Structures are given as structure tokens and as C-alpha cells.
Structure 1
């Protein structure tokens, strides 16, 4: 707290001030005279006299330190302090759906090292109990923004930026000339009001009071214009000298090598990003793998782009209907799973998650699932029926119940169905008469997670489920 007071106090920069603190009546505690003090903004101080006291640092450095402290605060409008984690857009990325700052979620290995990270927006869920806005992998977003940064800092793009800076400087010079004219007119009006006041006879009190009021209004207007001019100078971009431009051109050629160097830390990369990027916005299109990203650069320029994030299921892919139709078409043509995977890779289809190409087993599972859920027969030679009455192969029962075969296999492992493996082939044979099939259909209609939440046993009739769950809980 002592260091905070030293750095924030204007005396540290040699500034004499009055009115930095005020009394807020709403915060006063009865009987305690020292309570209720608040710090007011610098624009509301009554007296500000720079250079009146011995200074430890200059005024510009003091203001820069205050700006850095404000930016390091973990508030909604600031990016926060730079951390050592690998997430480059921590504090900069915002949700494209609600506009809130997206949080970083790290996963760690048993040895404590970072295994991966992601960006997520859970503000609606934490505040109102609503579903989470969106969640996306962090590596793909950081890669996209890093590529955009290096492209923006390339020599060709840098020359365009320097030309734009020249145009901005010319516009600033034009506005500065207008400001000087306004200040000159206000100064002339204040001087004229002063001369009129001093030339008036003291006996004419009414005239003197009127002239004094006019002089005071002219001085107030002049002071207001000077303050507005100071704010204009502080907000407009600085002028680059020819030496600065040459130095920027030389450093631009070294930025890619510096960015990928092993000696460059994550904190260094984040600091460079925050120098040229003000904010970033990410928005997932529906629940698909498509993500739109908008980057707000320092100076007000904004660029947009689109990237692909890893997803968990094939059904989340935006081209899943085309993929499913193409897989069934190639399977009907009699191609094996390996050839189907090669065709899909050549045609630009990609699996979910982080895999680049399809595998043979994933194609076989997809074909089996599509045949089971859509009811479309394949071109393969039909297998003979299993031996025994009311018996089914696992894939045939899955098709009969309109469910994935993997779900039937999970039921076999849990003991929810009566099944055994055929000697020699080790294929599963399930015994299910019409009554059993109806029970399995009813089991299939239960919501996901029902069994773990209610501790329900599949052999119990529907009317006894709640009683059994209550007894199991006791």
C-alpha cells in the first residue's frame, strides 16, 4: 500500500495539486470524521501546478506508470497484467455473442506442465444460470492471430502503414492549425475584454461589473479551449521522425525470427501483441468448427478472418451432411475403408478434433453408424442369421433399435442385455424377444445421464424406478 501511494501521488512527479481527495457523504460513518474520503479524477482537481516540487520522475513517466497500473487491473475494460502462461490472447479476447472477456482454462499433466488451454465465456452461466456462451481451443486462435500479426508487420504491409501514418500526420497538422486559430481568437477576445475592463472608470460600477463578467467568461472559454487542445494532443498519434521510420523498417525484418526464437518468452510475445492489438473478438458459428475472428489494431483499424477449431463429434462439422452422403456413396461403390479415407482426404474433408486425415477404423465405424441410424442397407453380402430363437447380431439389433452399435456394446459390458460371443468368431449374439426389445427401446428413450443420476437398474419396471432410487440413496 505504501508503494501504491507513492506511485499514485502527483508529488512523486513534482506536481503540486489541491483537491485530489473529496468527501463522499454516502460513505461517511457517524462519529468518525476521517471516513468518506474518495479519490476524484485528475480532471476534477482544483489546482494542478507541474514542476513546483522536486521530482523523482518526470510527468510523462508518471502518467505512463498510472496507465500501466490501470491496464494491469483485472476489470472488464482492461486486458490485465501479462502472465507467463502460453495463452497469448489472455485478457484481449472477447466473446462475440455477449461481448464479455473470455477466460482462459488450462489443463495440466501429472508433472504440472501445461497440457493445453482453451478460451471460454461462462459469464451467462455463472451470473444467470444460462448455458455457456461458447468454448473454443486456444491454440488455433493464437496461431491465427500470430499469423495476422506477422503479416501486419511484414515489410510490404509496414510500408503501407507508414504511408497511412503520413496521411494521419498531415490530417493532424491541419487540425492543429485549426486549434491554433481557435486559441488565437480566444486569446484575442480575453485580451480585448481585459483592456475594456481596465479602461473603464471606477465610478461606473455597473459598467465595471459587466466588463468584469465578460472578461471572466472570456478567460473561462480560453481555459476550456486549452484543456480541449491538451486532450487532442494526448489522443492523437505522435509524429514519427525519419530516424524512427528507418528504425522501424530495420526491426520489421527481424520480427518473425524474434517471434519464433527459443529465447522469446510467452510474456514477451504477449507484450508485443498488446503493443499493436487493442482487442480481439471470437464467435463460434453455431456449434460447428467454424469460428469468425475480428482483430482491433492500435489506431482503430479492424480486420476479420475465419478459422477452424477442433470439435468433439463428426456431427458438429458444418459439412457433416455432405460427408455422410459421400461416405455412403463410396461404400455403395464397394470401396474398402482405406480407399474411402483416401478419397475423403483428397476431396478436402477432415475429421474432428486434431486429426488431419481419416483412419480406416473411423470410416468403418462411421459407415456402421450411418447404416444403423438411417436404415439404408449396404452393398455387402448379408450375414446369416445367428443361431437360436430370438437372437440378433449386435449390429442388426442396433439397426432394429435405431441406435449406434457402440451403445449396444456398452449395454453388453454393463450386463443390461443377455449376450454371448460366438465361438471361433467372437461375434456378439444377443437374445431379445419382442418384450425384451420393447424394454431396450424404453431404455433408449431415457435422457443421457439418467442412469448415473437416478442409480436406476434396467431390470426394474417403470413404476418402481423412483422407489428404487430413493432406497438406493438411503
Structure 2
């Protein structure tokens, strides 16, 4: 037993017994090993240690020996040894103390300096002796290697079973593991299956996980989720993260996938931590078996969904990431490319009227200025017209498709509500049977079961009220009149496009379905224009030029609207003109419908005033060379309102007239014309 290696100085200090099991399961199952480790106390007594000098450090029971970071007991022993309070350390074998060479050799160094003996079941070792220290070092190295070999064998067995598709793990909501066939199968609960299918159907429509979550919230529907710890299904409120977990899970595409993540030891704040999970890219997944079990979607649709999710992450320096369609007015958000540098342009809204502006920040940090910026209202209108013109030929087919899709979606929602009420009815009946089966004299149990029964009945009643509320609000049942309205609306796509119920996000998704990207290139010669290139999903390219307006004129009334008002104002009233503009679907500022007041403002701005009987508008130029307000406006290509502003501010001198009763007349010479041209350019910047 090598008693001669123990001296009086060892017996005067503490004898530390260090029992350890790597996991709580081992602590529960391997009771004989645990008993052998605690029996080392008797071995210490045999060597001569007094009872009060023997202590047991059992802080690390159920902890792995791979590192000392999560083992406070091991760190305490090392500290006591360094301070000379420990005479010997007892362990069943070296692997109980450490399975890390770094921790083991550090402990050996401390024991050698403090003259601390290490004792196991077979022998006594003195780290001060080089031969003993060499032997202990070899044992520590073998202990660490043994841990690696055990892990290698276990991981190899798991991977081999996974490559056959037979390794079971926690199945996602919508699936159950079939132990007989060693495959996933659809869950028997119809409500769970329908809810999962509805997630994929709504993602096809909404185009984003947030849109799906918002839809579920509006319909007051829940989503099934499997608790990893209990393996039970619970119904939770829908969040964007829960939708993304379903969309990103390849199991729903019928593929058996294993090894999507890799667990490693990692440093956090300079300390070694137990787990650092790294998600592997798809090409590095360890095992993928296609068509292994029934699928909710095809693999091609799964890959398309992953691409869509990736593109929804807006990153303007990477051309493939467009960002999800949002609720802002800018219809081309996310699909605009800068014609100068090729990067994606961002959008912002300026002023109280929220003017749209597309801008590129490629030179913002290097040159201190924007690469390019363009007023967006005119761009949106031009692309919108091209899009609607491309869609019109397929309106008849679209009408029937819209009707069928609407009916299908409403049937799915109604079915989900019916399944939810069936589940709550079953739970209420089950609670009732439990209450009726209990002994009525056992009031403690009876009161609890009665309360559970009442809670289930209240949940059922609440679900019924919510169902009726949603039915009234969302019109979950289509009547013949509703079908006729949908068909009529689908045949008149422009009215649907301008309708109040069509959101900006829905319009953007429709545009993205046909248009892949749009590039904007500013052109200054011979006029300030913007070159627009539309890349359609089919590969075709359409080019057009749009006048590049300044921020002051970006939301000015379109020329087509001004032309119609000019042709009709002398014979028709403002209400008739507004109705005419709305029927032609000519856009107004902020996409609002035309009304009498809006037409009146445009008339006054452009000088289209209704003349009283017997009065005529003054000529543009008199025989003496003086110009009227409208004459100056026609000569310089501006509106009469701008001429009034110049006259009031003193930029344009009044030669004759003025005030409230007499018309103004102006004299134009080369100097004044040059000055007014400069003022005109200032307004265009």
C-alpha cells in the first residue's frame, strides 16, 4: 500500500475524499461505484488520519470532468492544496479527479509544490517523486483520451443510426414518431395538421413570417408547439419566431435531417463554457434523407421559402436581400437598384405629406454624400402603370382564381375554429366525467375537479364568442352576393388596386410576383430625367424615361390630370371632373380619391378659374408689349401661382395694375427673364 510515502506532515493536514459521477443518471443508476468512492473514508482511517481530519467534497456530483469551470469542488480542493491545508487527496481513480490534461497537470504541479499525496484504490503517489509524477501524468493523458474515445463511439453509433433514418428525436408539432416503422408520421390530431398547413398557405400569400403571425393574430387563432422537456403539444400565441421555426424546419418537407447544429466548448468572457451551439449551413448537414416520411410541402417549396426568408432580411449592400414588403407608401421598396453602383436603394418619407424618396448610401461614409437620390412618387406611378398594363390580359382567369382562393382560405379558417371548439368540448366533457366519478364526500378533491370543469366550460364559451366576433368582422362565409362582388372586382383590377381594403404590403407583393428588380439612373442631358429599367421575372426588360422632379414638385399633380381638368373646367363642374378622374384611376397626391375640393385647388393653382358671364380673361400680351400673369406663366413654363409669388415677393416688378380690382401687367426684358429663369431653376433643385 506504499505507506512509507506518507509522513507525519501528511497526517497532520486534511484528507480530502473526492467522489464524482459524470451525470445525474449515473449517480442514480451506478450506485455501486458511488458506494466504492465513499468507502475511501475507511481507507483514510487505515492510513492513520483522525476522524476530524477526513472531509468529503461532494459538490461535483453529476458534473462532467471535462473541465473545472463548472466544478466548484475541484477548484476548492486545488485552492486548499495551494495553501497547505491538504495532506492527501483520495479518488477512486485518476479520471474521477479530471479528464482534462490542463486541469490534471495544474493539480499535479500544486500537489508537488505543497507536498500533497494522491491516493486511489491501489496505490499511494507522491507528486514530488518524478517517477510517480510521470506515472500520474500518463494516467491523466489516458483518462482524457478515454473520454474522447467514448464520445467518438457514442457519436458514431448515433450518426450510423441517423444515416438509416432510424434515430428518434423530438418530433415537431404536426408529426409523431412511429416506433414500429421508425419514421415520422402525421399526427392524428386534425386541428394540429390544419394549423401547420395554414402557416404554409399564408406564407405563400403574405410573403413574410411577420405577415403570417399578424394574420393569425387578426383571426384570434393559436399555433401548436411541442414542449421539448415534456414532449407534449401546447397551443401558444403566434409570434414571428414560432412561424420561422416551422418554415425553417426541413422535416415538414418530408426530409429526415440530422446534424444541423454543432456543439463545441466555447470561451465567454475569457472563461471556458460548456456549450456553444453553432448552426451549420445546409451543405454541411451530416444526414439528409429526402422523401423519408409524409410531407406538408415539397422540397422545392421549402427551398423557395428559405430563399424568401433570406431575401426578407433587408441588407442594402447585398443585392439579393430585398427585405419583406412593408406598409409604407413606397411601392418599389426593396426592389430598387442604384443605376450608378448597383446597390439596393433605401426609402424614406419626407415632410408632413410623407414624400417618397429613394436614395443610395454607397458614398455616404467615403465621400460624405449620397450616391444618388430620386423623388419616388413619379417613379411609382410609371411602374404601376406598366404593371397594371401587363396584368390586364389575364383578368378573366384571375377573377375565377381569386374567388376559389378566397373560398378556400375562408373554409380553412372556419375549419380551424370548428376543430378548436371540438377540442375544448372534449376537454370540458372529460373534466365533467372526472368530477362525476369522484366520491362526493371527498370535498377536497371534488372542489378541485369542479373548478377545473367550470374553467373548461368558460374556455369553451369564450371560444364561441370569439368565433362569432371573427365571423361578423371577417365574413368567414361567402354568400352569392359576395361571390359576384369578388368576380366583378377581380375583372376590374384597377379598382381593386386603388381600393381602401388593399394594403400597401399586398400591392408590393403583387408587384414582386411579376417584377424582379428595377434600376434608376439619373440623366441630366438634355433634360432632367430618370431612366427606369424594369427586369421582369420572365427575363424581359422594359425601359422608360420619367421626368426627374425636385422635392418641391415630386408630388405635383400629374400632367394627365391637369390636362383633363383644363379640358373640362369651362363646361363641367368640379364634382363631375372628380368623378371622371376617379373612373380613369388617375392618381392623386398620397393616393387619395379625387373630390370637388381637390379639383378646385388644382384649378386655382394652374389658373383654370370659372369666368363670370360677360368677362373674359386678359390676353397674354398687349400691343404695348406688357404681359399678363398667364402670359408670363406661358413664356417661362411655370404656373400662374408661381408668377403671383414672384410679384408679391418683388422678384418680378409690376408695371401696371395690381391690388384686388385691377389685373397685374408685367414688362419682360432680357435682364428680368434671366433673373426669372434662375429663380425657376432654384425651385427645381
Query: Please, what TM-score do these two structures have when normalized by structure 2?
Result: 0.33
Q: Which has the larger radius of gyration?
A: 2
Query: Please, what TM-score do these two structures have when normalized by structure 1?
Result: 0.45
> Which structure's relative contact order is higher, taking Cα pairs within 8 Å and 6+ residues apart?
1
